[in-house]
Amino acid sequence: MTLEKIINGFRKVKNSLKTAVAVGAIGLALALPAKATEYEIIKLPAYSSLCHDSRYCAGNTYRDINNDGELVGDTFDYADYYYQKAFLYKNEEIILLNLEEDFDGAAVAINDRGEILIKGYVGWLLDGRICNEDYKSFIYKPGERIELDFLGEDMNNNGEVVGEHYLWAKGETIDLIKDFNDYPPDVPFCDEDCKLKWEAKAINDNNQVAGTLLIGEEYGDCYDFDTSNMAAFCWREGRLTFLERPTYMSNGKLKYYDTYACDINNKNQIAGLMIRERDDHPILSRIWYACMWDEDGNITQLDTDYSLARAINDKEEIIGVSSKSFEDYYPQYAVLYKNGERIELDSCLPEEWSHLSMWDVAKINDNSQIIVWGHWYDGLYHGGTYLMTPISADLDKDEIVNFEDFAIMAGQWLEEKE
């Protein structure tokens, strides 16, 4: 586009009655707000014909999506529905992964190289209390399998894996907390009646790790982590540091929020939640809030009561769940936090999907595709897992009108009329 063409375009409208129309059109375009992102909705298939399409009891859980739109998860084997079978969803087909016959597990992550992280364990849980564990985890790709000696939670595009308090990189397992004893004063300590549990939850392509330290209370022969004290941390360049924990007053005492890290992007921004005690309700004893930490570890609250942030991409788009009121923390709603706004995903649905209520999310990739769970009721309950793909990006306010193209098209139109 040359300056001469632009000038010639405007010359065609000069001294013409149509100038007013052209100028008016520009003014109108400038006055219009930026168009919100619209999404294409696809209902993701269930593997079993017996599936009723709900989130868990239906037999399918989609857990991750890469930037090529490939998804992974697990499906129940209805011959023995207590166990999981890992799958890949690619080219509109569910592919069960060829694992050991006696191994049951879930595909929890897939990177842009198509490598898949599998984890599975045998044990028993009782209301969140861990009583026994016997697990294995490995990286899966056609013709090759790399076994890990810890339970993996996430994998980056370099094939590096994190889980528990370990990092697997370049064939070596690194203990993230080896010789660590730098607990800040606000992080609760563990005495002889409790147990420390480290959860390295996410890793980015810069080898930076986000996770949480949980302190479980003894419960018979088990440890209860449901009501745990928690502190989110970040590990980078060989150093583990705890993230900021805000303070609040409760019954006249100054206390620290518990914090939990869920995901990290390549800008070292971390999504998660902050939790405080609640002393004004007879049943609900804790309140949680969606939050994020910036690259320096400083925290920002994203939403009101009973919300959490599950995942963040490199566009700084965060997905999570939220309630609409202080008391009514059910039902919950799937939300997108973007450019300082809280957007309910229900408001982004096309007309033909307006009957859906989106209530939870799993992952968002760098193309803004979102794995989301939705349901509706028409006398019977219906539900399923859906993939939301943006079909029009938000327009930048400086790009609402392309003045160069407008000037030339206006000139061409007037030339045809002369």
Question: Would you put residue 9 in left (φ > 0), alpha (ψ -120 to 50) or beta?
Answer: alpha
pLDDT tens figures, 49-81: 444 444 444 457 899 999 999 999 988 655 444
Q: Where are the domains of the chain?
A: 120-381
Q: Are 149 and 138 in contact (CB under 8 A)?
A: no
CA-closest candidate to residue 321, choices 281, 262, 264, 379: 262
Residue appearing with tokens 């007013």: 20
Give residue-wise pLDDT tens across range 245-275: 999 988 888 989 999 999 999 999 999 999 9
**DSSP code, position 5:** H
401 — phi, psi (to 5°)? Answer: -125, 130
Gyration radius of the chain's alpha carbons: 26
In the predicted structure, residue 218 carries a pLDDT above the cut 50:
yes
CB atoms within 10 A of CB 124: 10
Continuous H helices in 157-285: none
Return the pLDDT at 21: 37
Q: Which of 149, 216, 134, 211 is nearest to 180 (CA)?
A: 211
Q: What angle do CA 321, 324, 326 make, to 5 degrees?
A: 105
pLDDT value of residue 375? 86
Helix, strand, or coil (residue 346) = helix
Residue 28 has pLDDT above 80, yes or no: no
pLDDT tens digits, 88-120: 999 999 988 866 655 668 899 999 999 999 987
Task: State residue 1's pLDDT score.
Answer: 42
Q: Is the pLDDT confidence value at 190 over 50?
A: yes
- C-alpha distance from residue 307 to each of 52, 211, 246, 336 (Å): 28, 19, 17, 12
Q: Say if CB 148 and CB 173 are below 8 A apart.
A: yes
pLDDT reading at 156 higher than 70: yes
The reported pLDDT for the residue numbered 188 is 64
Whether 399 has a pLDDT exceeding 50, the answer reads no
Q: What is the pLDDT of residue 269?
A: 98
Backbone angles phi, psi at 246, to 5 degrees: -70, 170
Exposed, middle or buried by CB within 10 Å (0-12, 13-18, 19+), for 157?
middle
Decide if pLDDT at 160 tops 60. Answer: yes
pLDDT tier at 29, thresholds 50, 70, 90: very low
Q: Which of 27-36, 119-128, 139-148, 187-196 has the lowest mean pLDDT?
A: 27-36
Say how far residue 101 (Cα) sits from the centre of its chain.
32
Closest CA to 195 of 162, 221, 167: 221
Q: How far is the C-alpha of 306 from the C-alpha of 288, rounded, in Å?
A: 5
More confident residue, 132 or 352: 352
The closest alpha carbon to 332, from 313, 349, 319, belongs to: 319
Spatial separation of the C-alpha atoms in residues 137 and 107, rounded to whole Å: 10
CA-wise closest residue to 77 among 85, 68, 67: 85
C-alpha to C-alpha distance for 186 and 209, rounded to whole angstroms: 21
> Which pLDDT value is given to residue 232?
95
Cα distance between residue 241 and residue 230, in whole Å:
14
